[in-house]
Structure 1
């Protein structure tokens, strides 16, 4: 599923997630009656479609755009290039300040709402965070609040202010631990809790601790390095049975979605610490966890810009940094919902798998001997459980299987914690987005491929307080148990 900085002068870059109103019927990627292709047999197109303005049309739009520092803004604004490329996030002297920025929820039942929002975005007055066919969440810069309010009233467009001051929410999001929790950290041998969002060092230290503590079932492997040289670490939990199915779970592809790595590490802790007491459904699976796909971006959100989305690889000759890793995977790369503009927050990269982080994931999945039958990537926000295809308004031949399992997982989540998740093909429920990791995993023959957009539905958005971590992770784990039962059922059959 956004940047004003001292060294970058006055550029604001917000992450954007949105939806698309679709009118064409669902289609299958393969002809009726054709079986699913063998692993690695699907050819990868190399198209170069340009990014479409998401709000020009009232019938087709996507709110994944570069927001305040969008394509139009980079042309019209007098933005000075930074004096140098900063190699490490720790070198940044000050954090981006979002004081006075507001989040509005705008119903889109009026025909002109999306058109007006598009015009405001192109004028660099707003950014979009999330949405679907009924509403759009927009961020409004402090100096634009009066102007945007006047335009909405003139056009009879309703809105609700969800967040009065974004910086205040950011300041309150991740408070320090109390003394009892700090003492418990020292006794445990690692610093991970699920009462706080942790830095990469804590997450990787936790993985290493589990590997040392439970060497019979837990192992850790570095599968590559990020652009800035950070480890891309995978943890495996397995009892070594040759008959085990394998599941790959990742988080943190988009840097600012902090609830994602927190949820994935919660899964790791639950399975590793309680393996002997777990059900056979869980124990009969080789679990592969990659909590932070985008370590550079994740660290950058802690040190410099809480709302950073992409990785941190600089682009030669450009003042813009980063590629959207979830547009860089090599199935239908370069299609709808991705951008060729390096300044866009949905920039797809110079070529498929141009980024070390996405390439490391793909190389591992393709070359490991694990029998991957499921791939789940955790994002936020919106409470959606999505399956392919994302690149176009289409579904794979076995979409009914995916839909049934997805709905069973969603029901388990609802029963465990009360959260309602919408289930469906991602291109239909949200918007087309080519180059996603879930589409690529499906193209490799991994049957159960899902993107899960975690809580909430917009009250906090990307700035979800730490008090929600455990409840979100626990209900998500209930959904994961449903998937494990399905995989073992298939094994028996």
Structure 2
């Protein structure tokens, strides 16, 4: 999620080895978190009540003897003013207590939407394994053969971008934007019309994968890269937008966390940096709370074990420091910035740190309205839009506030699918949804681009 309002829990002074104590060994010998028996629930919440704060105080069970922490509650979707429903993952041993807490809060709308989250994770892992075998049998020799309708390893993502930049060098440049905590090079692509562009040409920037478990986000980023290159000169809307804007797409900006979610803990959210200042056992920070503009203000969390830990200082995460440097010094005329997340089907605009509106608030909302209409016309899916504080609650240290402060006109943190699907797949959205989600994001960005051309007279 773009935001996650977990309460700050007591600083842990012993080792937290995993969200779930029970583990099993994967095919490669690595330990994997086991969420057997964890159930996902949805219920309606009065957003003016303190129900969520009460529930959040029970998030972890800490065991000093085993030096481990077991997740009891994990808030996957917060209620908003537009969608007053919460999605919460609950440990089996905490279910009765959870229900009694809801009863005490006079909540009677509880619905279980997934009976065993581990079975969903297992099904996804098995499908991924079969796809990896199929891909290994046929080495990738052309960017055209890259299957954008599957979830890929980071290594496969990089290979696709490398092939694309080599085989379509007239349109695509592979760019390095940062280096991760574990030493992975973070790449993206710059896409322009054949022959290049002047340096002052306006740009559309897309990043994805900030939160490791949100796999649909990088998949959509890859889908968009391939679609733009493949359909330039054939699709009038894609062609017109590439003529007006250069596109910078970074499909995976948290590769350490992403690979960890693939091999060890499917529900991992943060980066994988080592904390050396407060608690050396708690790993990672929320990369979307680590940006320097208004860092550590509203909604900040200073507890290293928290899922929304803001980091020890602004830009403490090398991934975010690298992105900031690249965005600041390598992209001269940013016009649109989109950060892809999941889930909730929202277009969230600045500000995040305050309830105040930006100077260009109405123009941003007009563009968001056109994007939502374009999505609806493309796939029939509904997206809501508004500022973070209008839709959710204040949060500081986000990329969209940094971009707003820089003066980028059109900025949105996008929560992708699902929401209105009758079976909420949450973070385990099947790859069969990648194409439709990618199509609706292309439609949204084309609409925002068209709006920008008209309003800014580009």
Same-fold status (TM-score > 0.5): yes
The answer to whether residue 76 in structure 2 is matched with residue 132 in structure 1 is no
| Secondary structure, aligned partner of 2:76 | strand
**Structure 2 CA distance, aligned partners of 1:360 and 1:451?**
19
> Structure 2 residue aligned with 1:471, among 436, 442, 448?
436
Q: Counterpart of 1:296?
A: 256
Residue 416 of structure 1 and its aligned partner are, at CA, apart by: 0.5
Greater Cα offset, 108-117 or 386-395 = 108-117
CA contact (8 A) 2:177 2:187 kept: yes
1:81: how far off? 5.8
Verify: 1:212 aligned to 2:169, yes or no: no
Residue 58 of structure 1: aligned partner: none
* Equivalent pair of 1:382/1:456 in contact (CA under 8 Å): yes
TM-score, length-scaled by structure 1:
0.80
Contact 1:191 1:206 in 2 (8 A): no
**Deviation (angstroms), 1:156:** 4.0
Mark the CA change 1:93 to 1:335 in structure 2 (over 3 Å): closer, same or farther.
Answer: same
Equivalent residues in 2 for 1:170-209, closer than 5 Å: 170-173=121-124, 175=127, 176-177=130-131, 186=140, 188=142, 192-209=146-163
Equivalent residues of 2:56, 2:73 under 8 A apart? no
- 1:336 CA drift (Å): 1.3
Superimposed CA distance per residue, residues 107-152 of structure 1 (whole angstroms, 9 cap, x where no aligned partner): 1149574464245447764221112242211111011123323443
Question: What residue in structure 1 maps to residue 219 of structure 2?
Answer: 262
- Number of residue equivalences: 422
Deviations 1:74-105 (A, max 9, x none): 37xxx5466xxxxxx99972211111101111
Contact 2:190 2:248 survives alignment (8 Å):
yes
Aligned match for 1:241, one of 197, 209, 214: 197
- 1:104 paired residue among 29, 41, 52: 41
- Cα deviation code 1:461-480 (max 9, x no counterpart): 11111111111111111111
2:242 aligns to what?
A: 282
Matches within 5 A, 1:416-435: 416-435=378-397
Judging changes above 3 Å, is the alpha-carbon distance between structure 1 residues 432 and 192 closer, same or farther for their aligned structure 2 residues? farther
Query: Which secondary structure does the structure 2 equivalent of 1:234 belong to?
Result: strand
Could you tell me how far 1:337 is from its partner in structure 2?
1.5
Q: Which residue matches 2:450?
A: 485
Distance 2:324 2:163 in 1: 26
- Taking the aligned partners of 1:232 and 1:471, their CA distance within structure 2 comes to 26
Give the secondary structure class of the aligned counterpart of 1:302. helix
Query: TM-score by structure 2 length?
Result: 0.85
For residues 232-284 of structure 1, the C-alpha deviation after alignment (integer angstroms, 9 at most, x for no partner) is 10200113232631111100011111000000111100111222324323322
Which of 71, 76, 90 is equivalent to 2:9? 71
Native 8 Å contact 1:300 1:308 kept in 2: yes
Q: Is the 8 A contact 1:281 1:485 kept in 2?
A: yes
CA positional deviation for 1:160: 0.4
Point out where structure 1 has 5 or more consecutive residues left out of the alignment: 2-16, 19-62, 83-88
